[in-house]
Chains A and B, each alone.
Chain A
Amino acid sequence: MRRRPGIGGLQNAAAARDQYRMLGENVAKIRTDMMKEQLATFRSQLEEFARKHKNDIRKNPAFRSQFHEMCAKVGVDPLASNKGFWAELLGIGDFYYELGVQIVDICLATRPHNGGLINLQELCNLLRQRRKSDREAVSEDDCLRAISKLKVMGSGFEVISVGKKKLVRSVPTELNKDHNEILELAQAQGFVTVDEVERRLSWTSGRAIDALDTLLDEGLAMIDDGHKDGRRRYWFPCVSSISTSVADT
């Protein structure tokens, strides 16, 4: 069809546009309504579920972790606020705040020994020791969740992965790749020697000494000149289980 110029043509075009827009809005509205409804259903079912399994969620860490996963998928964050339905129903907010405070406490208490870097597993053990009066079990997943809440405060809490282990960092030290590799190497025995670092990581002696010196300065390593082979050992309290014990003295 040939487009005709003139007022009539312009008005027609405008009217058609309006109609398309209205139709489009209608469709979108229907879709949103439907989705809202679905979400509402889902939410109410999730709430129903939470109500029904309240005790399991509170007492069983594995169940709790799966519940969190489910919530995350529908965009519900039971930890987002201490007020409101979720907190009232589950008391879950309080639980994680409490964990958070205790984690900060433990990190501070063990910092003199480990320089502010602690094995997640140990942190968890210490947490359990501290809470032993409390019957509700605490899993590593709970620890991680509590730590992620701590981040909001900008206190520099962070979880880093070194080899197979997760370490929790409570000081603003930046660890580079070299440091991480040394920490990973140290996991086997709790310590490394300069020789070992050079050999296993194929580094130059300068590189090894440099990285080890930084770790020393940061308070993450301690030297040990007492072995009879005469080689200096660099020990890392954050990867040895000794810090567990130091903290409870």
Chain B
Amino acid sequence: MQKLGDFKLPHFFNYPPYFTLQPVRDTREKQVQVWKELILDYCRTQKIFVIGLEEDFPLFSNPVIERSLSHEAREAFISALVSEAGRAEWLGKGHRKCLILWHRIQDWADIILRFVKDNGLEDSVITVEEMRSGVECRGTELHGIDRAILMRALRLLEQKGKLAIFKGTSADDEGVKFSM
């Protein structure tokens, strides 16, 4: 079986027609389904948060069978993820980059809450940057999380009154005050 790093690729990845958008509706639905699963799976295991449609993404081509996905196909698969509630979100209107949410925003929010409890931060202040690269987050899923996703999850918690986000001295140094 073919592998990408330590990721086991599914067998359809070696079957050329899966790289061409299928014209027949039923067949296409199944095709989109397996691609959606593959993209989510791959991003989850490789901790990838953003896919650029125009960039080299390992899943978009298979040199072994000399096939690659057309732009149309890439957009179709990613769009299918976007329309599946909460699995992906376009970044900007051009549909060039996409956030891949292998954890939904709500799930990320729950992970943050757990992180706060585990570290006794219920009434403390922490910077956004610390949450994704500080000592406390080592070994948790928050380590290395995409900033955009982290902010979306924090905003969700802010709406629920669990915390307040405030600006620090510089633009990319926002802080979070928990009140739980």
Contacts and interface: CB of A to CB of B under 8 A. Distances in A.
Interface of A: 112-113, 115, 191, 216-217, 219, 222-228, 233, 235, 237, 240, 242, 245-246, 249
Contact of B16 (A226, A245, A246): A226
Interface string B137-164: 0000000000000000000000000000
Contacts of B23: 216, 223
A142 to B, nearest CB: 26
Contact of B20 (A112, A115, A223): A223
Interface of B: 1, 10-12, 14-20, 22-24, 26-27, 30-31, 33, 66-68
Contacts of B31: 222
Contact of B10 (A191, A216, A249): A249
Nearest to A228: B66
B22 A223 contact: yes
A171 to B, nearest CB: 11
B26 A222 contact: no
23 contacts: A112-B33, A216-B27, A219-B24, A222-B18, A222-B20, A222-B27, A223-B20, A223-B23, A224-B17, A224-B19, A224-B20, A226-B19, A226-B66, A227-B16, A227-B66, A233-B16, A235-B16, A242-B11, A245-B1, A245-B11, A246-B10, A246-B11, A246-B12
Given A224-B19, A226-B20, A233-B17, A242 B27 contact: no
B16 A240 contact: no
Given A228-B66, A245-B11, A112 B19 contact: no
B130 to A, nearest CB: 40
The winner among A191, A226, A228 for most chain B CB atoms within 10 A is: A226
A90 B166 CA distance: 77
A51 to B, nearest CB: 46
Contacts of B18: 222
Given A246-B11, A249-B11, A225 B20 contact: yes
A182 B13 CA distance: 25
A192 B132 CA distance: 52
Given A242-B15, A246-B15, 8 more contacts: A216-B24, A222-B20, A222-B27, A222-B31, A226-B19, A226-B66, A227-B16, A242-B14
